[in-house]
Chain A
Amino acid sequence: MPQIITEQNLRNLIDLLVKESKVVVGPKQADSVVLYQPLAAGSELTLDSLPRRSAKELFFPICENILSYQRLDGKMQVTDVDRSRFPETVLIGAPPCDAASPAILDAVFSWDYNDEFYLERRRKSTIVGIACTQGDDACFCTAVGLAPDTDTGSDLFLTPLKDGSYACKAVTEKGKALVDAHARLFGEAASADAAPFAEQGTEKLDLVKIKKWLEGHFEDPLWEKISDICVGCGSCAFICPACHCFDINDEGSTEQGSRRKHWDACGFSKFTNHASGHNPRDVQNKRYRNRIMHKFKYYDDKFGRTLCTGCGRCVRACPVGIDIAEILSTINAKQD
């Protein structure tokens, strides 16, 4: 029999972690929406819907200081951010599509040059993933190689059982350490009947085939057809668990201020605009093509991974109804 934790003990675990001065982040009702937010108590954990935004901002904040500067006695001084002050964090209640995102993003933030802002937060975090029983029409994780019960990216993985408790699987040493440190909250399962996993509307896609098609169709009528309704709002990128494009800007005066790294989106018209006014991606369908290409070809070329977890957030958020799963299905069905 696997180890289990009852729902009450899961909430007790959160209370204990908070007492240990860890930052515990989980899905929490925030006015009318559920968001990943710091939990003050286990009772705040909400496990009945997918949070509006992904959990990536835990490691890669919307906006963060990367340095500050100040002119002192006429001399410019630059001060690094003290990353040792980043708190120990436990992310609890992330479904596979969110738990898998850091596992994807690790590649880009640690190749060649290490982005220690991201990596330090990763080192100080433990991810407790949970099998998904709440899929909706927009979900397509199974289409991109994940599943409602995939433990990729989780340190500890919980599977809801019919009796309301959760089967626990320590996926990594970090997960095991979390269980060991709070062993009295975990018990033996009476039965191992899992609650039914989420239904998935999309058929499994052949990602290799899709990538191959993308390779040969940089120029294709499809791009204009699918994306000339795109308004370039960037919503899809901002709520995506895998999009990681960012901008760097200064905020402050010439005397004192900070330099900040903050989210950006390849759908924005100024994203690639040169100072001269020349823009390599001068129309929206080129920008949307880059989005699809980056996710299903370029990232795979470089890091051997698809830059998508099938969470479906972009499908739900798009103000003009662009459906990435539908686009992938269209490509998947192509014969040439």
Chain B
Amino acid sequence: MGEGAIGNAYGHFPPPPPPPPQGGRELRHERESMCQSNNIYLPNLATIEAIVDETPDVRTLRLVFQDEQVRENFSFRAGQFAEYSAFGAGESTFCIASAPTRKGYIECCFRSVGRVTESLRRLEVGDTIGVRGPYGNSFPIEQFFGKSLVFIAGGIALPPLRTVIWNCLDLRDKFKDITIVYGARSEADLVYKRELAEWQQRDDVRLVKCVDPGGNGPDFDGKVGFVPNVLEEAAPSSENTVALVCGPPIMIKFTLPVLERLGFADDHIYTTLENRMKCGVGKCGRCNVGNVYVCKDGPVFTAGEVKAMSQEF
């Protein structure tokens, strides 16, 4: 379908001359030149290498770029996001949930709640999806060297921290104590269960996992309670420590005062904002919080930066 069709159907302006017939040769030619294209909306194609169902409605896709050059050169930092597309449904924004220290693939993790995510869910191993990115800023991991880290996540918000957690665990010598406080509504809603088990096994990580009251089965081996309360009880030291918090707005709201009581300064608390996005590159105009564009200025912010924003979350 050519550009011309749009001009006629939707606008007053005349279409450019019709494109040459779309044979396989033409398309292959275009495909080869994709890497050089200056079209910022053009995704790279990736193959779904593995699918993991984290919960009944949360799924992880492991993706491998089809283009060899892209596969070798794609690099990102923990905290950055991408636009993932299911062709025919559109694009959706998720963080890159795998660690930049794990090469050769990327992973995304999403809950099926809308048109695109439901289409992504219908894809199978071997299918193709589009990936644009990486976009946005990232966690300043180098600034955390020599410090202790406390990760605090709720529900589906573990993926944006999981990239940092593995990034830091892969550079374990660079950090002092690593504490992870992670909670969800119920046992079934805990994501990355196999990795939680792995972190629990490690003696260089302190994992405190919890579920909301009523969400625990008889054999649950974690705490029962809400994340902010469980965090307060776990009481990680704030000395020479950075806290990284991701979760639903209500969890963040009640977690920040706890961190304050534990002695964390605002500029030692990091979080990510997860606003709705379309372009991912500062043009489409919907992810702003006041004059801050989450896609360009974020998604990673300190608590101090978040408090200074127009309060519209």
Contact = CB atoms under 8 A, between A and B. Distances in A.
Contacts of B14: 23, 38, 87
Interface residues of A, number: 80
Q: In terms of DSSP, what is the predominant structure of the interface of chain A?
A: mixed
B234 interface: no
A68 B1 contact: yes
A248 B310 contact: no
A108 interface: yes
Interface in A25-60: 25, 30, 35-38, 57-58
Contacts of B28: 77
Interface string A241-275: 00011111110111101111110101000011111
Contact of A276 (B1, B27, B113): B113
A173 B125 CA distance: 55
Interface string A82-93: 110111000000
Interface string B278-313: 110111111111110000100000000000001111
Given A78-B45, A81-B39, A245 B284 contact: yes
A298 interface: yes
Interface in B10-40: 10-14, 16-17, 19, 22, 24, 26-28, 30-31, 33-34, 37-40
Given A244-B283, A264-B284, A271-B286, A257 B12 contact: no
Contacts of A186: none
A81 B13 contact: no
B31 A77 contact: yes
A180 interface: no
A218 B289 CA distance: 11
A114 B40 contact: yes
Interface stretch (B86-94, B141-149, B213-221): B86-94
Contacts of A259: 41, 85, 90-91
B114 interface: yes
B284 A247 contact: yes
A217 to B, nearest CB: 11
Contact of A70 (B22, B38, B85): B22
Interface stretch (A201-209, A278-286, A321-329): A278-286
Contacts of A264: 278, 284-286
A294 B90 contact: no
Contacts of A58: 13
A259 B30 CA distance: 16
A282 to B, nearest CB: 10
Q: In terms of DSSP, what is the predominant structure of the interface of chain B?
A: loop
B91 A85 contact: no
A72 B23 CA distance: 10
B11 A61 contact: yes
Contacts of B311: 218-219
Contacts of B24: 72-73
A258 to B, nearest CB: 5
A333 interface: no
B3 interface: yes
A271 B34 CA distance: 31
Contact of A80 (B7, B34, B249, B286): B34
Contacts of B114: 275
Contact of A63 (B11, B22, B128): B11
Interface in B200-229: none
Nearest to B119: A254
A62 B119 contact: no
Nearest to A113: B281
A116 B34 CA distance: 14
B15 to A, nearest CB: 9
Given A57-B11, A116-B38, 7 more contacts: A57-B12, A65-B5, A85-B16, A86-B16, A108-B283, A117-B39, A250-B89
29 contacts: A25-B13, A35-B12, A38-B14, A61-B10, A63-B10, A65-B3, A66-B41, A67-B42, A68-B1, A70-B22, A72-B24, A76-B87, A77-B30, A79-B27, A85-B16, A112-B281, A112-B296, A113-B40, A248-B279, A250-B88, A254-B89, A257-B88, A262-B10, A264-B284, A272-B287, A274-B274, A275-B117, A280-B312, A298-B290
A-B complex: 10 closest residue pairs judged by Cβ atoms: A245-B285, A85-B16, A76-B128, A254-B88, A113-B281, A298-B291, A63-B10, A66-B41, A301-B291, A250-B90
